[in-house]
Structure 1
Amino acid sequence: METLNRSVWNGLPSQEKEIVLKMLLEKLPKGFEYKGLETFERYGSKAETGIYDYEGYKFVFVPGDKATLGWDRWEQGLDAATAEDFQETLDEFGVEDRDAFIRDQMSPVREVEIGALLVECQTHSLGWYEIELDDEDLADDEDFQEELEKFKLSAYSEYERHQNFRFVREGEAITAYLFNDELDADIVAEEIEQSGFSLPTEDEWEFLYGGGCRTLYPWGDSFDYGLKLRHFEELTEYENRPYDLEQPNAFGICFSGDPYQYEMTLKDGEFFPKGGDGGSLVCGGTGPVVGYLPAAAVYYRDPNAFELDFEDIISNLRFRRIIRL
């Protein structure tokens, strides 16, 4: 349908958009409800799109488009501060060619055609599931109870026992999660397909994150030093505002914005993680500019992605559902 392409969609009056969006309900799994139009604006891009609800989860319509994806050169060039940070950090690690270093961690440039999609706005944790603090099955788990009491008395916002349990504090509330170690990539993908959804491909993910932009980041080639980032909170004085990279983009879609986290996509039908590196660069002491390449650069591809085992990164893996229209 021509109206589902971005060039046509953006020129439609709001009333016509609503007619198209309501008609799409015929193609969607039972349980979807159309909620209306909403306009999103981020990094100089603006889009009016449709909002849907499915069992309490928010989805947005994303029109299809032809796009150039991947990165191999600067579109705008770096400002002095970003260039200096890159150079100082890479010098410490013996990297002589800055551009080659960055290029080697990006997906290759290619022309793609992305079809219209319905996209879940938020991601879900794959390896962790929420459990009540007073669950009777945990009453006799001495490790769990001991660490819970320590966490209650601490000032920490999070605590995790590797692939076992974790606690998260939001204000006065504490939420507990247990780890699910009985999953594999094929089972996850198959269960999602059987429920009427799909996982995004790498091409779709990069388009949804950057909108087809040709710069390193969705906002440009230079780093934005005003961002509030996880793991670097001390760099900003705006402690009470949300983390910037977790806010909706111009499509209305939210990403994890955390280099420790991956999002599950498929490449040639196989599991392929995007949006992070498991924290490797941050843990290596590279600082925010280099350390946040995995979470902020649109076309970042973990150099070890083809060697990563699903079981080893499941605790840091997230997923979102899409429907191809």
Structure 2
Amino acid sequence: MLDQWDRFSFSECEAIARDLDSALPASFRFHKIEACSLGDQRHHIAVFEWAGLPDSYHKGFFALTPGGTATLGYDREQSFVPDQQQQASWENETQKTGMLPGALDAFLDQTMTPLRHVHIEPFLLETQATPLAAPPVYDETLGPRGGWRKSVTPLTAQKTLERISREGFRFPTSDEWEYACAAGSRSLFRWGNTTPPFSIPSLGRQKAAGWDLHLRENAFCLLIACYPYHWEFCAEPGVMRGGDGGSALHAGAGTFAAWLTLASAFHSRWEHEVCYGVYLRRALSLV
């Protein structure tokens, strides 16, 4: 459990991890104990390497996510109070354009999970989600300077789950995903309640100068909810986590509105069978 785990020394954490290593499938091996911190949370996390990913992907690493009883969700009795910049973005960019009509409180009430207390069993969670569709390919034949060619691959949660189940994995539950993303934090985002002014949550060169908190590992050593387009399947059908598929960002719904899709408690509903642009984060049960 997390409260017990946090009291262990590095050497004690490593001893537990090596014991677990002997019980895991042969494709796993203990990698290291890493001190991870973000916002107001700091934890020592055991990381395991998995040899199952294709060579074209990053190395596969899984974090031992300690369990415990946790408070999750958005507390509607103690509403989030935006700072001046966030409020101005909502009023001048979001409400005036009509992309997301209504007050900020109404949006948060609609998109954030309810306040609740849950019990989480320890489990392994992939530290970095992988794209389910093929990455774009640079094609020199596209115009005088070439260009990127990207295939749009339809995906279904059921077929994806069937495939990873044969490898011994599953999707994380929505509770597990939110617990892992927040890593113990009760702020709106895993790093706190602040967002950069006049900058959308993007990857690469477009990120705000000096601002990369959404691109850092969280206190559970996870790269998670980094980009609104990279949403992820959960065990519950139709529940998507880690973004909104880029809807708010693509529609120009407002700077702060786009950042809200990376909040730990944010969730999207997708009722159609086929989905696009999904990233996969594997989970492995330990009990």
Q: TM-score with structure 1 length normalisation? A: 0.75
Distance verdict in 2 for CA 1:65–1:160, change over 3 Å? farther
Q: Which secondary structure does the structure 2 equivalent of 1:203 belong to?
A: helix
Q: Which secondary structure does the structure 2 equivalent of 1:190 belong to?
A: helix
Q: Residue 149 of structure 1: which of 124, 141, 145 is its match?
A: 141
Tell me the equivalent position of 1:277. 244
Q: Could you tell me whether the CA contact under 8 Å between 1:72 and 1:103 is conserved in 2?
A: no
* Aligned amino acid, residue 267 of structure 2: R
Structure with higher helix content: 1
CA–CA distance in structure 1, aligned partners of residues 250 and 113 of structure 2: 23
Distance verdict in 2 for CA 1:29–1:75, change over 3 Å? farther
RMSD: 2.8
CA–CA distance in structure 1, aligned partners of residues 264 and 144 of structure 2: 38
Tell me the equivalent position of 1:298. 264
Superposition pairs of residues 20-169 of structure 1, within 5 angstroms: 20-55=16-51, 56-73=59-76, 74=78, 77-92=81-96, 93=98, 95-128=101-134, 147-150=139-142, 153=145, 159-163=148-152
Q: Could you tell me whether the CA contact under 8 Å between 2:63 and 2:222 is conserved in 1?
A: yes
Q: Could you tell me whether the CA contact under 8 Å between 1:39 and 1:49 is conserved in 2?
A: yes
Distance verdict in 2 for CA 1:256–1:215, change over 3 Å? closer
Q: Residue 157 of structure 2: which of 181, 185, 188 is its match?
A: 185
Q: Could you tell me whether the CA contact under 8 Å between 1:77 and 1:221 is conserved in 2?
A: no
Tell me the equivalent position of 1:318. 279
Distance verdict in 2 for CA 1:228–1:280, change over 3 Å? closer
CA–CA distance in structure 1, aligned partners of residues 255 and 158 of structure 2: 34
Q: Which secondary structure does the structure 2 equivalent of 1:250 belong to?
A: coil
Q: Residue 223 of structure 1: which of 195, 199, 217 is its match?
A: 195
Distance verdict in 2 for CA 1:234–1:188, change over 3 Å? closer
Deviation per residue, 1:125-164 (Å, 9 max, x gap): 1122688x8xxxxxxxxxxxxx54237825x6xx34451x
CA–CA distance in structure 2, aligned partners of residues 282 and 50 of structure 1: 35
Residue-pair matches, total = 276
Task: Name whichever of 187-196 and 111-120 sits farther off.
Answer: 187-196
1:15 equivalent in alignment to 2:11? yes
Tell me the equivalent position of 2:55. none
Distance verdict in 2 for CA 1:228–1:37, change over 3 Å? farther
Q: Could you tell me whether the CA contact under 8 Å between 2:90 and 2:254 is conserved in 1?
A: no
Q: TM-score with structure 2 length normalisation? A: 0.85
* Aligned amino acid, residue 186 of structure 1: Q
Q: Which secondary structure does the structure 1 equivalent of 2:175 belong to?
A: helix
CA–CA distance in structure 2, aligned partners of residues 190 and 275 of structure 1: 22
